[in-house]
Structure 1
Amino acid sequence: MDRNTELSEFLRSRRARLSPGDAGATVSNDSPRRVPGLRREELAQLAGVSTDYYTRLEQGRHLNVSEAVLDAVARALRLDDTERAYLFELARPRPRRAVRRRPARPQRVRPGVHTMLRMLEGVSPAFVIGRRGDVLASNRLARALIIDFDALPYHERNMARFMFLDEAARELYREWDKYAAEMVASLRLEAGRHPDDPRLTELVGELTIKSPEFRRWWADHNVREKTHGVKFYHHPVVGDMTLSYENVTFPGDADQAMCIYTVEPGSPSEAALRLLASWTASPPGAPSPESPSSSSPSPAPSPPVSPRSPRSQGDH
């Protein structure tokens, strides 16, 4: 990802979403408005910089922009904390000469984190997510809830690929559009932090080509930090569930987070999750517990860790 291009497009997209009235800009009636949002000169006035200076900044022709100027632009654009951090990352000075970088090492999950996943087995779905949304490790309940990540080829163990390239995701997530758009915003934030990641560039290129929704949302330049939230599922074995999630990071592994799902005690979702846990605990060949959404649920795959075997993604 070219940072100058991304900086330019990000600033334009944030400026376009602000009306002069909302931003408190002085509006000139000398000429009709041809574009939505603030004009460059109006944004420059709000930020306290010259129009020429802001124009060069928005065009990606910046040199060592001070934090004070970036902060003023962020306030004028009414950026939230995540957007502000993203702006600072894009505008951060970089060496003029390209430094030859060593290939990034594959991410590894510490033994202690694997132990935590096993301790949560049968209680909470949990998985470790790394750069680019790669799923690095998961427990049986998470694989039963979402998809059997362990049965996928290594390069396909990625939440964004599952979300956009597997039709099962659209059936599983009851608010697919919302969750998919949030995932694109998270990937955009990741691209700002790691613009030279070739695997991330490859993933974005693939999804842009194969998914019109991804292509449209990527062009919006939204950024989002996923830390916690609620998701609504329609599981093919146990029916509807409402699960909360928390993304927990560990010292020393800034690019890894454990996503842990929980349910409200005494709720129908808790009963459904317990049924799913008992279903995954069934030994190979044993009959599965009766599903509340189907009188004849499909038999468990071998090993019985997911109600859905991974679909081939080569044709997408």
Structure 2
Amino acid sequence: MSAHRPKFTARWLAAGGAAVLAGIIGVAMMLTNGGSACAAPPSTTTKTGKATFYDLAGTSGNCSFEVPADDLYVALGPSQYSEGASCGAYLDVTGPKGKVRVKVFDSCPECPAGHLDLSRTAFKKIGDEIDGIIPIKYKLVTNPSTPAPISVRIKEGASQYWFAARIDNHANLLSSVKVASGGGAFKTAHRTDYNYWLIDAGAGPGPYKIKITDVYGNTATLTGIRMSPGTVQKTGVRIAGGSTTVTSKTTAPTVKATTSPAASPAAKKPAAATPPPSVPASAEVDPLLESAVAEPEPTQPLVDLAAAPSSC
């Protein structure tokens, strides 16, 4: 791969039909083998690999995040991107010139496991740009600091009848998101490969309470979230603290108007259309994936971004 390659159209296709097809194949393999994923948090052991770099060219990544202010991000191959389950996590990457911390921001369809495609800015911090490809060591960061508290973005086209929200600045990998409208009961959302959490039948008119849980069992409850599509609603909540449950509530959220980040074809569906269903966690069989359940309900697969294939 050229370090100066353009942003491939395939990167966007990967968040649509290709991911759905992969999920169908995964289901078939699971039924055939009768296996199940491991129920453990992702490993933070250091692994070796290689790094290249790319430029966004005015677009955004498959995780649907705004570009980080420090321009430090990474795209992962299909097995490690895991249909969006790794979005928002942080990796420490060490190269010939030093170490950099990057946010999982995008997918790289042509990258095998261990091949990290960094932003040009991140690459230059740990290697010489002229080299194009460099050897690296990398590991998943536990409880990393984030540039801001948790924020919520309600997707364009969402309504009381179809709920879709992106959660940012959650630090660790998320295992579940639940949403309640007003004084109603919580409903479990499912994650898409473009990193929005959906409730296909809707969650009501709001305002919403959103309870998020990470892979270590930390929880946070965001309150006062409005049905305001296309805006980023900031909170005062951070979620971290090892395996201790940390439950917090927001103050009144502030709303920042944003333009919609470039997204996958699935993310660009008109309001009336129903996005393709997300593949359930039980369908995952890739040895790089691990699954943990922080609560009784089924959750999304958790990605072991830095460990060798599981033996269980």
TM-score after normalising by structure 2: 0.24
Larger radius of gyration: 1
Q: Which has the higher contact order (CA 8 A, sep 6+)?
A: 2
TM-score (norm 1): 0.24
